[in-house]
Every structure is written in structure tokens, then in C-alpha cells.
Amino acid sequence: MDLKKRVMAEKAKLTIDGETYELPVLESTFGDKAIDISSLRQRTGCVTLDYGYMNTGSCASAITYLDGKQGTLNYRGYPIETLAAECSFVEVSYLLINGCLPTENELRNFKGMMNKYALMHEDMVHFFDRFPAGSPPMSILSSMVNTLSAFYPEMINNPLEQIDKMAARLLSKVRTIAAFSYKKSLGQPLTYPRPDYSYCANFLNMMFDLPVSPYEVNPVIVNALDKLLILHADHEQNCSTSTVRLVGSAHVNLYASISAGISALWGPLHGGANQAVMDMLERIHLEGGNYKKYIDKAKDPNDSFRLVGFGHRVYKNHDPRSRILKKLCDEVLQTLNLSNPLLDLAKEIEEVALRDDYFVERHLYPNVDFYSGIIYKSIGIPNDMFTVMFALGRLPGWIAHWKEMWDDENWRIGRPRQLYIGPKQRRFVAIGDRKVCDERFS
């Protein structure tokens, strides 16, 4: 990735201890500027301090761009609205990983590879029997994905030569693992993948087919799932993607890097939020629908409660994914002739919050997780599988970022610096003489 042509004539000036240093400024495709501080420590002896990397760009990337102020998102230059309306999840996965939309032939080959690798090694299937009942599906998913590196080690040495195979294998196997983990949690027999089904139809069939009651594929549900996965497919350098890059930066294989990303996604501040939204809406509904109490709790500086599904590190405007999902939610419920009081509740909360000064001043809008759970629930996916669904959707993004990093000549092992604030030097006290606590800080 040649960044020389991004360097602007303008320089940033930094004065420390009376000395002024000039730092290069780089410009993105959309004109955003980044100050290149890679020579800072060498030249000044200083590092930067940036908790949560709020202002730190960790790489240059050509995959996804989101404008948090405008509330827009695009993958490889295509607006998310167009991709969600026109493409399947498999096409979008191909786009993210390979940089361009596939031709018919390329798409056929990609799907062919995915069908070829959809089955899981039978020995891996037995692993499911050993997880205790009630195991969190995200823990099963991250363990099983890491285990792929033991079953398919041939991919580890020449990753970029094998990337198409690894990507197809991961996309199809993670789908199978996700469905199997659900079946196992219910104690039901496994349904194996079917090559005659599309990606999403195959997943739904593996989830819900039973020998006594065969699953009937419903195109409305397949279409909703396709859209949900597309909307989650990538989102710049978010927590899980940065984890995949950081772990991968130590030359860790793709499966292990993705397994780490799955663990990062698990947290309620990231991918776990969609489950937390449903739990919150269900609780409010059960308590009689008094959402105002929860809005007040969210605003109370002495209460740690947050209105889950609201706010975003980057979007300070509507999250475009949330707008698409709100519409999709209505469409799905209407077409399936379902009603869900949680949708009405969610809409009321959104309306009230968007008029409330607390949320307006802090630019807190509904994010991707606010409506996705209601759709998942309506198509039969239980709450504890929501984050697994997020992982399934985010997978092509993680693969694309891992591949981009391997391909980038600027890539270095990730190793942030710190500001050390511990004691300078302490007097060692032998174990028998250690008595008082204040020794700890002497």
C-alpha cells in the first residue's frame, strides 16, 4: 500500500519543550486528514496517549468508509443501501474480500468452493458433545473456529496463496458451526448442509429442520437474513476487527485471528448489544411498558445503566444500518403477519429519546443493534444466538482486513506504548517480614 501520494504539502507542527517538529499529514479519499506520528518517539522521545484509540488510525484501509457526521456507510465504494437492496450476502462477502463485485462465473466458483467446504470434519462434530449444557454459543463458536487451525493446518504457511480457499472454508464452516451449536444446545439431531440451498436458506435449514417436521424455506425470511448479514459485514476498525488485525499482526493464522475477533465481539458494548437490547425491551415490556423509567435511568449520572442500542463511537448521526433495519422490521412482521409489542415499544423509545436534550446533546441515535434483535426473534432466532449471527455477518469483514494487512508492506506487529504511572523503585521485603499494606507503595 503506497501512501506517498497521500502525503500533503501541509505539515502539522508540534512544539515540545520549546522545540518545534514538523509532522507529515496524509489525506484520505474523502479528504479526512491524518497526522503521521510514526517518527514521533524517535525524534522527540514522546509517545501519544489515546485511551480507546479515539483519535488513532491504526492502518490505511481501502475496504469500508463511514462518515459518522453524515451517517453514511459504504463498502468498497458502494453505499450500504444499494448493497442491501441489490446483493446477496455471498456477493457482498466476495466484494469485501476481493475488492470488486463478482461476475456470474466468479460468484458460481465462490459458491462452489463454499459448498465443497461446508461439511465439518466428523471428529470436530464430536467436540459439540463435550460442551456443558447451557454453554454460551459465542464460547463454542470461538473455540471451534480456533480448532479449525488444527484440522486444516495446510493453510497456515502460505496464507495469501490460499486465501480464497480459507475464506470460502471459513464462511461455510462458521455457518455450519453456528447452526450445529444451536442444535446441540437443544439436544436435537444435526442437519447437514445442502448444496442446493443458498447460503442463508442453508443456514436456516440447518437451524430449524427436524426429521419429524422438515423446514420449509421461506423467501421472506431468507431475504431478511441476507440483509441482516450484509448490514453487519464490515465496519472499519471496530473493536473485533482491530482485534483480528492485532492478533494477526503477530503472523497468527487466519482461524486463530478470527477466533480472537469472535471473543472481542462477545462483549455487550460491541456485538453482545443486540442480545442486551432484546433483554432490555423484554424486561420493560414485562414491567408494563414503563420505558420512561429506563430513559431516566440512562440519563442519571449516578446510574451505570445505558439505553442499549443507542450511541456509537463513530456515528454522531443516525446509523444508516439502523434506518434500513427499522424498515425491514416492519416489512418482515407485516409479510409474516406477525405482531410484536417490542417493535412498538422500541419505536416509542426511539421517538422519545430523539426529542430528549440528553440524547440530542450527546448525539445518541439508535445503532445497528436497536432493531436487529426484533427481526432475528421474528424469524425464529433465539436471543442467545444474536451475537453468533453478528459474528456470521462480520466474518467477511474480518477476513478482508486480515488479508489487507498481510498484503500491506507497511504492516508491523501491533505493539502500543504506554504512560507508566507505577512506582519508580521499591524496597524488597522478604516474605516473612511483609506486614503492612503501605509497604506496597513504599
Alpha carbons 308 and 324: distance in angstroms, whole number: 18
Q: How many CB atoms lie within 10 A of CB 100?
A: 10
d(CA 194, CA 180): 14
* Closer of 23 and 239 to ligand CMC (Cβ): 239
Q: What is the DSSP string of 193-209?
A: --TTS-HHHHHHHHHH-
Q: Decide: is 371 part of the binding site for ligand CMC (CB under 6 A).
A: no
CB of 328 within 8 A of CB of 318? Answer: no
Using rule CB under 6 A, residue 144 touches ligand CMC = no
Nearest to 369 by CA among 278, 243, 235: 278
Residue 16: its H or E element: strand 7-16
Residue nearest ligand CMC (C-beta atom): 311
Q: Which three cell numbers stand for residue 118?
A: 461446508
Is 232 catalytic? The answer is no
Q: Could you say which residues in the range 336-365 bind ligand CMC, by CB under 6 A?
A: 362, 364
Q: How many residues make contact with ligand CMC (CB under 6 A)?
A: 20
Tell me the per-residue interface mask from 377 to 416 with ligand CMC, x by CB under 6 A, - otherwise: ----------------------------------------
The residue (of 298 and 399) whose beta carbon lies closer to ligand CMC is: 298
Give dist(CA 26, CA 10) in Å, integer.
9
- Out of 309, 373, 393, 397, name the contact with ligand CMC by CB under 6 A: 309
* Residue 321 found at the interface with ligand CMC (CB under 6 A): no
Give yes or no for residue 320 binding ligand CMC (CB under 6 A).
no
Closest distance to ligand CMC from the beta carbon of 390 (Å) = 8
Residue showing cell 414491567 = 287
With H, G, I as helix, E, B as strand and everything else as coil, classify residue 67.
strand
Catalytic residue among 369, 407, 408, 433: 369
145 binds ligand CMC (CB under 6 A): no
Least distance in angstroms from the C-beta of 83 to ligand CMC? 17
Based on CB atoms, which residue is closest to ligand CMC, 201 or 281? 281
CB 60 within 8 A of CB 1: yes
Interface residue with ligand CMC among 90, 174, 207, 307 (CB under 6 A) is 307
Interaction mask 254-293, ligand CMC, x per CB under 6 A: ---------------xxx-x--------------------
369 classed as catalytic: yes
Separation of alpha carbons 270 and 379, rounded Å = 22
310 scored as a contact of ligand CMC (CB under 6 A): yes
Distance CA 143, CA 127 (A): 10
Look at residue 382 and give its three-state secondary structure. Answer: coil
Query: DSSP state, 432?
Result: G
- Report which secondary-structure segment, H or E, holds 431: none
CA dist., res. 306 & res. 184, Å (int): 33
Query: Shortest gap between Cβ of 53 and ligand CMC (angstroms)?
Result: 11
Which one is catalytic: 312, 319, 408, 433? 312
Residues that bind ligand CMC in the complex, under the rule CB under 6 A:
235, 238, 269-271, 273, 298, 306-313, 362, 364, 367-369
Instruction: Show which residues are catalytic.
Output: 312, 369
